[in-house]
Structure 1
Amino acid sequence: MTEAILHLTSGKGPEECRWVVARLAEAFADEAAKIGVMCEALDAQDDLPASLLMRVSGDGALAFVRERTGTILWVGESPFRPRHKRRNWFVGVALAPIAEDVPDLRDSDIDFQSMRASGPGGQHVNKTDSAVRATHRPTGLVATAQEQRSQHANRKLAKLKLAMLLEERRSGASDEVRQERWSAHQELERGNPVRTYTGPKFKLRKGG
């Protein structure tokens, strides 16, 4: 069995792109189930998430991930602004970093604190002290995780989120630099989506 973590993000996109992230997570889960691959959200599923993480596991996980990594295009009418002329909405899908491969992230530099889970999530959020807050002392970065059913799993998820924060911090020295890089990325990738979905039912467009 193989496993990978996908990061779905709306980047600097508008509300519609966050809506696409949520619908794309559902589409990925359905597509995975049809081929015997497990694809599940690790984050709490807000209605309009700016980004979320999905664990992909099973014998076909790596092929599944390869086919979906890059820019995803959804073509359709805005669910929030029906008269809006724009019909092309882009989101990004990338492999999340492996926490153990991030050189600045050492267990000795992380303070883990257990806390009671709270907020949205319904039956999937534990009411016990299984939630975890992870603080990276050298940088002051903080990540929390409460979506998993055990404290051990939430520690792993919080550490993964710290790894992503550190990688983001490393890749862009400032918000301005990150904005420039995102704009350049969008200009390069918008014309070449790895997958295209259409309409309110998120139908996959063959050949695109």
Structure 2
Amino acid sequence: MSRTVFVAGNPEYGIASAIAQRWPKAEFASRSNGFDLTTDQGRHEFAEKSLGYDVVIFCSALWRFNQSVLVEQVWRTWSEKGKKGRLICLGSTADVGARASNWMYPVEKKSLRSLCQNLCWCATKGNGIGVTYLSMGYVQTPKTEEKHPGKKKLSTAYVVDLLDWVISQPPGLNVNSLSIDPVQEAPETPHQ
């Protein structure tokens, strides 16, 4: 891959680790190397630095809607500077439906999905910033293994294959969204 890649994520964990293995020249920003993407200053520094790259991948575990705020800030910075390239946001299939719960994770992912859908429309109007929302079910990470030991999971290498496919699309084509779930074993008593 000849495009330059900047990643919001820790290169020693999960999907970001698989990205680092696939693309050793990719650069990363997370708390592990001094970027606090939950602050205005950290997001501003990230957005400014992102101008030097062709592709930005958002796979950091940010809560309190900080991932959506970061994506919007990068998109706005690129738009104001006339920068062209691709933004790829990793979401979750937990973003669909409603639950009787105060768990914010699915609500935050719905916010990210909605923002990406809006920004995708800007891409199709010719602003030069491709935006993709990639939602996945369970992915093999230490935390997911601990929380969901019996579930089938996507490998991080497979997720990077999907990222590579999105990045390799020709100019003039935007992959708006892609949703992938590993198929689980059927329950003994299926719901009717």
Which structure has the larger Rg over C-alpha atoms?
1
Per the TM superposition, whether the score is higher than 0.5 is no
TM-score (norm 1): 0.28
Which of the two has greater strand per residue?
Answer: 1
Report the structure, 1 or 2, having the larger helix content. 2
